[in-house]
Chains A and B, each alone.
Chain A
Amino acid sequence: MMQEIDLHGVFIPTFGVLALAAFMALAALRRLLHAVGFYRLVWHPPLFNLALYTCLLGALVMLARGVPR
């Protein structure tokens, strides 16, 4: 995986971009789960959100660099 992305001369770490993408995905997913009413089943929503974010970010990192064997 490339360490940094070149944006017109400004180098942005790939991890930062992935973190941002995971955050966007989380926001979308959260809205969806809210609409479905999933959060009524969750004991502590902030904790659930944090875990979900970690999963999303991990998945994105894996996709970007390939699943390690």
Chain B
Amino acid sequence: MADDIEGPYEYPFEEAPEDLVQFSDGAIEGRPAGVPSSYDQGGSTRWTPEAISEVHALAQLGRYQVRGYNSFNKQLPTWDDLTFVPATMTRLPLEGYREKCDTKTVLGGGRGLVENPIELDIPIYIASMSFGALSASAKEALGHGASKVGSMTCTGEGGMLEEERAASNRLVYQMSPARYGLDLDHLRRADGLELVVGQGAKPGTGGLLLGMKVSERVSKMRTLPEGVDQRSTIRHPDWLGADDLAVKIEELRIATNYKVPIFIKMGATRPRYDVAVAAKAGADVVVVDGAEGGTGASPELLLNHTGIPCMSAIPAAREALDECGMSGKVTLVAAGGIRTGTDVAKALALGADAVMIGNGAMMALGCNSPRYYDDYAALGTSPGACHHCHTGMCPVGVATQDPELEKRMNVPAGAERVARLLTAMTMEVTALAKACGKSSVHNLEPEDLRALSFEASAFTGVKMAGIDRPFDWGTERKG
């Protein structure tokens, strides 16, 4: 006891019986201290239920897990960590419901090298997603939807699908390291060529298409045995470094008679250096795809644990182009986790010239829509949570090669929803731009933004809300 030097303290009443001290007048027998949340929920911050089930899955499968969709990493910032600070006293807004705001976007005209830079009516286009990952109907619908609103689609790595070429007024032809379905005629019929060196979902690793989706048509277009698990290369077959790439770009320009712009698409890893190298090698357009970017199939570890957030990649890429004197000469496209027009506006304000959407466009087609509940349930999932693109059993016919499932992907309706989504997103961008006093969406700037979290401020250099200073390390970055 506390005061035993002076002698024991004596209560002026009879000491309590031990069972009363132990709450035995009503507490659960054996758990008189009560039931903490840890009793049924656990408390380990390392061994969460997700971590335990991951170990169980690995222990049963003997391989890493594979899935589609996008990153589940909870540490990635969201675009909601940034907010706009529209014109108030120091700046004059434009009339949001009345005045015009320019949305025209030119890709690849900056160097003055190519005859036909790509002119889009809006700053948003459809990301490169292959025929193979998506059904032919989905590709066709994307093409028509984009065409209706003056936007663009990209073939992805599976070669040029005739339905998409016919549907898409502007189509970029992607040359992946595997060079599936490469054809000089297709190159010359494209409105742009894209050399892909990586993607945001799994930078540093080639494409993956499981055998269930390598149908007869897909296998023919890719010169693969039908039904194999196609695990593509990541290194290009005929160039390795930036100096070779410069020669390769010249070859493509010659092959297409200097008509169309050359894109380089990369996953966001070290954009401050990678973008500078791509610009130096001669790209007209650099596409930086953040870690939030989606994919048809990937080892899950790469989805969750590689790459950097889109919002952090854009300012770094812009800084690189500024530093090389290439801003205005090289177009910067950002992608990865862009959901709505507000996300687009934030990406433009951070320094992107245009934005690509993949998962969002798929959702317009019907991805994760509340229909065919039983088929979602058969995959062990439900509308809103489905990430099973890798199985080819897409309940809504978007990410499948099964002819029966593909019938659920109605081309005219899908095209119209894509067109409406792009229109609505563009309207959201112009609403924000006008509130910020901008007569062109391309005039949005970092000063129009404030950060709501330390992370968002530190990632982007955008000023913290209220205090009006960026959260930084107190040192100016040099060189």
Q: Do A and B come from one complex?
A: no
Residues of A within 8 A of B (CB): none
